[in-house]
Amino acid sequence: MDGKEKNSEMVSNDDGARKFLIITSETGGGHTSAAAAIADGLKRFAAPDLVVNIARAIEESHFLAQKLAEFYNYMLRNHQHLMKHYYWAIERFRPNESNLFYRMTAKYVRHLFEKYCPQVVVSVHPMSQHFLGRMLRELGLLEKIPLVTVVTDPCYGFWRGWACEEVSLYLVATDEARRQLIDYDVPEEKIRICGMPIHPKFQHLKDEDKAAARMELGLDPEKFTVFINAGWVGGGNIPQIYQQMVDRGEEIRDTQAIFLAGRNDGLREEIKSIAGRASFPTKVIGYTSAMEKLMNAADIMVSKLGGLTTFEALASRLPIIADATTTPMPQELQTAKLISHHNAGVMLKRAHDIIPIIRRLHHDPAEHSAMRTAASRIAIPDSTKRIVNELMRKIVLKTHKQ
């Protein structure tokens, strides 16, 4: 079998199914959440018989790439204040564009195309599309298999790695993200503003539904509830912020808390021990795929400003106390400014300020209500449906060309 016949097999569609391949990585939890939301959205809003596969391409492609992903998560969990240097190093050396990394990952990428025979490839990670695009070009498939990038950083200042010549369409959350791509020399006609790819399950609930969500978690249905979100990796500055809450717990004893420790079992046990000394009850939870239930039960969320988490909270009309105790990474700094500018949250610059902020929002219903309203104004309704419509248009256009 010659190369042309082999490449034709990669885009064959003998079973009549429409096939999507979504490329992600578990570096933090946002990219994985985006991939899951898009996969669910394709079946929910387009057609249930679509074939959608998700590949964790960074970790699966090569041992060294896996170690780099693990190092990213280690830094995020244990040394959040140093993440700006990691960002700088990636921007400076651009391993995602290097010939060495391409040679290491090329066999894996080719195998993906042979295994899944996708009609559209969707990247939700800035470190993946250069390898994907280069392989599609080398195989002569760039015109047959569109490469679409869904940018999961919502504001200006994100990784240059998102910009790739071989990408045929970019779907972004905001006009700021659009301007950043244009400044990275991406043609304007390749960019569409759709909003963030969040799962439709993240939505505003009525007060009685919020009370039911608290009861499901074993919490008091009437108490003001603080959701302390240590993220997918479980760590960063959030444990120290919670420690401040416990140290001055008498001042917020009429509240209750939910602490999400993510995939950090050691942190979960540590927080359980600390919570035993608190003047307010705390429900400690490890990793969960039902993040919407925690947001639904809460009145405010204390969290690092990851792009997906932020917009999931906004869709749920959940005001955010954003961790700014160390300078956010560049791609998150503008998100912090967005939240602050629209009054959908508060920037926490010193850990010991957490108690006065909670007390203020708890005892000033008007301010809290105004923040909830502001959050709903920033969120883009039906964003995942808009993304799905753009992806399905790619299938239609490709079919017409054929």
Which tens digit of pLDDT belongs to each residue from 306-334?
889 999 999 999 999 999 998 888 778 88
Domains 3-196+382-401 and 207-378 share a fold: yes
Distances (CA, A) of 251 to 224, 231, 240: 13, 26, 17
Least confident piece of the model among 173-177, 180-184, 207-211, 315-319: 207-211
8 A C-beta contact, residue 29 and residue 233:
yes
Query: What's the CA gap between 156 and 192, in Å, rounded?
Result: 15
Asked whether residue 247 carries a pLDDT value surpassing 60, the answer given is yes
- Give the mean pLDDT of 228-234: 93
Least confident piece of the model among 104-108, 293-297, 304-308, 314-318: 304-308
Task: Please give the angle made by the CA atoms of 42, 57 and 55, to the nearest 5 degrees.
Answer: 35
State the chain's mean pLDDT as an integer. 90
Spatial neighbors of 247 by CB under 8 A, at least 6 apart, are none
- Give the mean pLDDT of 225-230: 97
Query: What's the CA gap between 39 and 389, in Å, rounded?
Result: 13
Which tens digit of pLDDT belongs to each residue from 143-163?
899 999 999 999 998 889 999
pLDDT bucket at 48, cuts 50 / 70 / 90: confident
396 or 66: which leads in pLDDT: 66
Which tens digit of pLDDT belongs to each residue from 84-96?
888 888 888 888 8
Res 145: pLDDT: 94
Where in the chain are the domains?
Answer: 3-196+382-401, 207-378
Q: How many whole angstroms from its chain centre is CA 253?
A: 33
Least confident piece of the model among 173-182, 190-199, 207-216, 347-356: 207-216
Least confident piece of the model among 209-213, 322-326, 393-397: 393-397
Query: What's the CA gap between 379 and 319, in Å, rounded?
Result: 12
Tell me which residue has tokens 């999931």: 312
3-state secondary structure 173-189: CCHHHHHHHHHCCCCHH
Tell me which residue has tokens 């419509």: 389
Return the CATH number of the domain spanning residue range 207-378: 3.40.50.2000
8 A C-beta contact, residue 252 and residue 361:
no
8 A C-beta contact, residue 194 and residue 270:
no
CATH topology of domain 3-196+382-401: Rossmann fold (3.40.50)
Query: What's the CA gap between 345 and 128, in Å, rounded?
Result: 32
